[in-house]
Structure 1
Amino acid sequence: MKRRTFINSTAMAGAALGVSPNLFGGEAKPMGHTFNLKYAPHLGMFKNKAGDDPIDQLNFMADQGFKAYEDNGMKKRTVALQEKMASTMAKRGMDMGVFVAHEIYWKEPNLASGDKDLREEFLSHIKESVEVAKRVNAKWMTVVPGHVDLRQNMGYQTAHVVESLKRASDILEPHGLVMVLEPLNFRNHPGLFLSESPQAYEICKAVDSPSCKILFDIYHQQIQEGNLIPNIEACWDEIGYFQIGDNPGRKEPTTGEINYKNVFKFIYDKGYKDILGMEHGNSIEGSKGEQAVIDAYKASDDFL
């Protein structure tokens, strides 16, 4: 047998056995699972299996076959850690998902109020987030417009929010960055301005920018409005990002009432190639629970 034929045949055999085809030294590692969609875990989800170090956790995620990562708190991490995490993701072929772009006003109005100082504060946070996005190779950042203003008609509030988002889009567009607006459910987050996918769709149409899209959080929208697949279909051209969590409990798929295998298949069949953030807890504590999360995604992703 020719040497090249031997090497190729051995490499293919190694791949079939689930090991890296490194024949001349080095440790052979199991190959990660191949998912149909790009699911993104977060820090702490696998800390019992991977340890506390963020880099070790990223490498563990990659070893399991996850091709993306999201981090709501990335903006608050040190520059050195941001750069190290970005380098690790690049080496492991992982994409960066969302991080929170600004201070969220959970109890009082900011963008809905039309207050110029609060608008400028928000825009300054967006400018800061541009630099973070560049540093960690992110495309998307989460925006929550804050609490309703009970002293103003909803029409006026919507106009104020749209104007702020137009100004933010002017900042983001030159960099190819996208803020994704997240409607949140009334039960976990009462009193917020943005709660439903049709409302987010209307706002994105009014802003009319490629830098302003919807973050469709499946957990929140199951509580708020249900009818998941038809609402995803209706909003499709304005959805930029998905997040995941089963209901009740906000844990991994298969633990609640949502048929995630069908939802994932629908999203896949629509041609979605971007990230689905795993923004939920683990239903079982410890290493056993972390394996249950991995197994749940393998099962829910098995739709072809």
Structure 2
Amino acid sequence: MKRSEFIKNSSMLVGGGLLGSKVEAKQADQKQNKTFKLDYAPHQGMFAATAGKNFLDEINYYHDLGFRSIEDNGMPGRSVDEQTKIGELLAKLGMRMGVFVVPKGGNGANTLAAGKQEFVDIFLKGCKDSVEIAKRTNAKWVTVVPGDYQRNLPIGIQTANVIEALKRGAEIFEPHGIAMVLEPLSDTPDLFLRFADQGYEICRAVNSPSCKILYDAYHQQKNEGNLINLMNQCWSEIAYIQVGDNPGRREPTTGEINYKNVFKWLHEKGYTGIVGMEHGMSKQGKEGEDVLVAAYREVDNF
């Protein structure tokens, strides 16, 4: 072999080795147990392409990626055995359980705004069941959506009905240190609770550490915008944050919300709670998982 060809081939090998090392280093950085500045919480299915469909395996993988909490809206639908195993694994890994939804905790079929005793009874049973689920999973927050408007009643009467029902729910949760977090939603104009200041008014009236706001920035960007200013005004009653970019409800960096600034503000505000990853993904499979982690590394880099 000519000396010039030997040098050229050697350079290609060295260059290829360096490129491979950079790729491997990038992959390792995403999987080196490096935690984030804020406590982002994925949900089942986000990393199923790599971790598989077993939720316990996926939770272990979340931990490997640097996440320290999970969310699972459907936790009440899991068996007692699975709930217990999830709680034990989270405790072993030093991870937190985020929100799950209170069973029948107010919806279109039994809206708390109606003031009907049978609806309140359904809600209170869901609260009592949630206490037992929370004990198994070490959960401290549960999501409550009061349901739809009762349009044959004045808005003040509806609001009072919701407040009275939530006071009853708070009495159940308070002894266990669990907070109902009320989530204003944007899914339909029929929903009673849609705005942050409305949640603030209700929580102030309930006046309990077990009744606070779940502020989902995706829904509030659609409903009212002005995210940081409104969060600041309602801050004393906000106990939990969820995110998703808009439009599309996918990971941060895919829409119009400047999540790097939002997360910087939360961090400077001293927020140490959970930030639920309540959204879909812009890409599928392993590629989508890598994009998802990269997006959170980007917006967490403030």
TM-score of the aligned structures, taking structure 2 as reference length? 0.89
Which residue pairs with 1:251 in the alignment? Answer: 250
Structure 1: which 5+ runs fail to align?
1-16, 19-29
Mark the CA change 1:288 to 1:245 in structure 2 (over 3 Å): closer, same or farther.
Answer: same
Give yes or no for the alignment of 1:198 onto 2:197: yes
Which residue pairs with 2:94 in the alignment? Answer: 93
Contact 2:70 2:96 in 1 (8 A): yes
Q: Distance in 2 between matches of 1:292 and 1:79?
A: 34
TM-superposition CA deviations, 1:8-33 (whole Å, max 9, x none)? xxxxxxxxx99xxxxxxxxxxx6312
Give yes or no for the alignment of 1:231 onto 2:230: yes
Which residue pairs with 1:210 in the alignment? Answer: 209
Structure 1 residue 86 displacement after superposition: 1.0
Letter of the structure 1 residue corresponding to residue 92 of structure 2 = K
TM-superposition CA deviations, 1:236-278 (whole Å, max 9, x none)? 0000100010000000000000000000000010001110100
Q: Distance in 1 between matches of 2:191 and 2:161?
A: 15
**Which entry has the higher C-alpha Rg, 1 or 2?**
2
Q: Distance in 2 between matches of 1:55 and 1:231?
A: 37
Contact 2:37 2:300 in 1 (8 A): yes
Structure 1 residue 285 displacement after superposition: 1.0
TM-superposition CA deviations, 1:186-227 (whole Å, max 9, x none)? xx2230000000000000000000000000000000000000
Q: Distance in 2 between matches of 1:45 and 1:130?
A: 27
Which residue pairs with 1:53 in the alignment? Answer: 54
Letter of the structure 1 residue corresponding to residue 256 of structure 2 = E
Which residue pairs with 2:122 in the alignment? Answer: 121
Number of residue-to-residue matches in the alignment: 275
Q: Aligned with 1:148: secondary structure? A: coil
Greater helix share, structure number: 2
Contact 1:70 1:277 in 2 (8 A): yes
Identity %: 54
Letter of the structure 1 residue corresponding to residue 300 of structure 2 = D
Which residue pairs with 1:65 in the alignment? Answer: 66
Q: Distance in 2 between matches of 1:189 and 1:65?
A: 35
Contact 2:112 2:120 in 1 (8 A): yes
Mark the CA change 1:77 to 1:108 in structure 2 (over 3 Å): closer, same or farther.
Answer: closer
Q: Distance in 1 between matches of 2:109 and 2:191?
A: 9
Q: Distance in 2 between matches of 1:182 and 1:231?
A: 15
Which residue pairs with 2:163 in the alignment? Answer: 162
Q: Aligned with 2:280: secondary structure? A: coil
Q: Distance in 1 between matches of 2:216 and 2:89?
A: 27
RMSD: 1.5
Contact 2:39 2:67 in 1 (8 A): yes
Letter of the structure 1 residue corresponding to residue 275 of structure 2 = L
Structure 1 residue 180 displacement after superposition: 0.1
Contact 2:181 2:214 in 1 (8 A): yes
Which residue pairs with 1:78 in the alignment? Answer: 79
Q: Aligned with 2:275: secondary structure? A: strand
Contact 1:214 1:240 in 2 (8 A): yes
Letter of the structure 2 residue corresponding to residue 75 of structure 1 = P
TM-superposition CA deviations, 1:132-169 (whole Å, max 9, x none)? 00110000000000010010000000000000000111
Structure 1 residue 108 displacement after superposition: 4.4
Q: Distance in 2 between matches of 1:179 and 1:34?
A: 27
Mark the CA change 1:108 to 1:87 in structure 2 (over 3 Å): closer, same or farther.
Answer: closer
Which residue pairs with 1:295 in the alignment? Answer: 294
Contact 1:109 1:149 in 2 (8 A): no
Contact 2:105 2:122 in 1 (8 A): no
Q: Aligned with 2:100: secondary structure? A: coil
Structure 1 residue 104 displacement after superposition: 5.2
Which residue pairs with 2:22 in the alignment? Answer: none
Q: Distance in 1 between matches of 2:189 and 2:283?
A: 28
